[in-house]
Structure 1
Amino acid sequence: MAGGRSQSTAFLVMVAVASVICLSNVAADSSSVPDVNLVYDMTQFPGNTEALCVTGDMTLDLTATIIPDRYNEPKVVKESPNKIKFTRDLEARHLGQALMCTANNKGILVPLMTSDAKFIPRRLTVTVSQEQDLRLDLKTKSTQEFFWWMREPVKKTGPWTSARVVDDKLRIEHSLLQGSGLYSIAYKQEPIVYKELGFLAVTIRECREHQYGRACEEWCPDCMYGGECDAVTGECVCPPGLKGHRCQIKCNENKIGKSCNIDIDGNGKQICLVAPYGCECAPGYNGTKCETACSDGYWGAGCHQTCSHCVEGCTAIAGLCKKDKNADCVGGDLGLPRLRKPPRVTEIKHDRVTVTFDPWKAGYDDGELPSGSSLNYVVAYWVR
């Protein structure tokens, strides 16, 4: 989509059109993003913590780190090369801590906090692209509108930066963010009550949204069902419960991992993946503690996907159609050819618009063109 301005605002949508196909048999590309999954038990969060770092790739050797590592808690037990368990039985006495699980120099960072924390993020780790504001749902124990935040490590002398929480939603402008890392949230500047701090792990993606590459000049592929595009390689990092080079393949119920070979009971669990995805409630659940089942008509991680691809609804965890299995083809027309790079609007006037675009190219642009089909382009233009 691209737009321009004259006396009003114009919007343009262009798609390549062909027969509806199914992508469910498309093989996944070779991957540079490791299969690392941190399963975080939210039922006693904040406070007591249990987390499991696991991979379905038997060639990976996971490593675990506590940040900072000068304390003896939480307990870290490496049960096998592909499974590490974190446990914290007591209320944390040390603030500004985080868990990190890594493989192939890529890791997942999640915060720890006490049950006295005034601000609890719904997602423990979030990713924002360059020039993108941080927006996050928060559960707050304070009625005040303003709060204060600082990137760890917290300094007694500050400086703290003020921001607002409106309707339990946090917003920090991109120009104020201080890079990737752990951020502390306080309801007053001084004196700081450390056990009441909330924490949030933030990853600043290297490119603008929907772009990747060394100079951030390449356009991301269409990562389906909420998948995120790696800023370096352009690879799709798929939400839990999905796999494939475009996240087009649904795992069976209660399966996660890049090969759908990790078993999970998702109730009360938040699953964190390597950047740029971050964390989200396990498939089939949402809410602060990830214990609320998806409403009818919704499915997937955090219940963000709709069952519009099915005739009579779908399962909340895997999004499989309850009836008419033939309809369960990644959303029907989602398999159509479509342009990865948006068309360019070079001139807009009251009676015409000039549009330029690169033709659809198999192997680069998204979707597929069935054998024997003709390719046409549809332009939709409207004024607001």
Structure 2
Amino acid sequence: MMQSIFQTIVLFVLFAQKESFVYGEVVHLVGFSINYRNPDMQERVEYQCYRSLVDSDATLEFGRYISTRSNETELPSSVSHSKNQDDLQVVKFRGAMKDQAYGVFFCRGTKADRDPTSVLSFFIRSDAKLIPVADAFTRTVSIGEGAVEIAMTVVRPPEQPGAITQWRFNGSEPVESQNNRTTYRIDRPVTVEDDGIYEVYYEGERDQAKGGFFRLIVRACPPNRWGPPDCQGICDKCYNGGVCDDKSGMCICPNGFMGPNCLTSKQASRGHDL
């Protein structure tokens, strides 16, 4: 069976260099990755980005969230097409480009009357040495929560016996306080500044593309509330593991689900293969 990861994310992604937005209606996007696990061993490797019908005129941009290797090249050109009323663009990794299908990528949608939206996707090589525990690439917490841990599983040892692990946050310099750990610990209450991508690898091996990535989403409101800074909005019920977005009050759906309350299976709604 084809392995895939599905994300419905209608929220703002905090990049390493943050942007200032006036919060309002967002661009509605869906990200869908084909063969995100072991892309170097697969025949078909794609990152698809769907625009909703109401935002079919939004402009899409693909990019690499974090650069880990000096020889990383530009992404392949994306192709755009519609099928069964789906308006999408696809980045296809083929041939030598499959070596570039590693790490964290984003699809960003922009439109004049809406706030920008980005959806993220993870690609993990077959020879990865560290991967997220239980294949959970994302966790959502609310501001003020404490004792947050990001745990990785060791799949393979380092090339040099005794080499320590190093962590980075949003591609910054190594966080020395987290050296030689497979779990990144935030012992204080979390803030929105902790929102982002956490990366771990063995010292001296970052450019081998065999490290692990994890995304921590920090809501700027208490649980079941939205609309910072006052957070007076009450979240609707999000099913199947969906999370209420703190900026819009809409449900952020987990892998495989979509719709206002995350009740619709994306695979069932598509009804076709691309």
- Please confirm whether the aligned pair reaches a TM-score higher than 0.5, indicating the same fold: yes
TM-score where L is the length of structure 2: 0.62
1:232 aligned counterpart, secondary structure: coil
Q: Secondary structure at the match of 1:223?
A: coil
Structure 2: which amino acid aligns with 1:161? Q
Which of 120, 139, 142 is the aligned partner of 1:109? 120
In the TM superposition, 1:37-186 aligns within 5 A as 37-42=30-35, 44-45=37-38, 47=40, 49-57=45-53, 59-60=55-56, 61-67=58-64, 72-80=73-81, 82-89=87-94, 90=96, 92=99, 98-104=104-110, 105-121=116-132, 122-132=135-145, 133-134=147-148, 138-142=152-156, 147-155=165-173, 159=176, 161-162=178-179, 165=182, 170=183, 172-173=185-186, 175=188, 179-186=194-201
Q: Distance in 2 between matches of 1:134 and 1:209?
A: 15
Whole-angstrom CA distance in 1 between matches of 2:267 and 2:100: 35
SS in 1 for 2:216: strand
State the partner residue of 2:19. Answer: none
Alignment of 1:198 onto 2:240: no
**1:147·1:164 contact (CA, 8 Å) conserved in 2?**
yes
Q: Residue 130 of structure 1 contacts residue 174 of structure 1 at CA under 8 Å; is this kept in 2?
A: no
Partner amino acid for 1:110? S
Does structure 2 conserve the Cα–Cα contact (< 8 Å) formed by 1:151 and 1:181?
A: yes
Change in CA separation of 1:103 and 1:151 when aligned onto 2, cut-off 3 Å: same
* Corresponding letter in the other structure for 1:208: P
Higher Cα radius of gyration: 1
2:221 pairs, out of 201, 207, 215, with: 207
Query: Percent identity at matched positions?
Result: 19
**1:231 to partner: Cα distance:** 0.3
What are the within-5 Å matches in structure 2 for residues 313-352 of structure 1? Answer: none
How far is 1:139 from its partner? 4.7
Q: Which has the higher helix share?
A: 2
For the residue of structure 2 that corresponds to 1:209, the secondary structure is: coil
Q: Which residue of 1 aligns with 2:259?
A: 243
Amino acid at match of 2:169: R
**Structure 2: distance between partners of 1:230 and 1:158:** 29
- The alignment covers a number of residue pairs equal to 219
Contact 2:130–2:212 (Cα < 8 Å) also in 1? yes
Query: 1:125/1:265 Cα in 2 relative to 1: closer, same or farther (>3 Å)?
Result: farther
Report the Cα distance in structure 2 between the residues aligned to 1:134 and 1:34, rounded to whole angstroms: 30
Of 211, 216, 221, the residue aligned with 2:236 is 221
Query: What CA deviation, in whole Å up to 9, does each residue of 1:161-211 have, x standing for no partner?
Result: 24755xxxx563363875333321124xx3344313222233322223322
**2:129, 2:196 → 1: CA distance?**
20
Question: Is 1:232 aligned to 2:247, yes or no?
Answer: yes
Q: What is the SS of the residue equivalent to 1:75?
A: coil
TM-score, scaled to structure 1: 0.46
What SS does the corresponding residue of 1:207 show, helix, strand or coil?
coil
CA contact (8 A) 1:119 1:141 kept: yes
Where does the alignment leave 5 or more consecutive residues of structure 1 unmatched?
1-30, 267-384
CA deviation after TM superposition for structure 1 residue 106, in Å: 0.9
Deviation at 1:114, TM superposition (A): 4.0
| Paired residue secondary structure (1:100) | strand
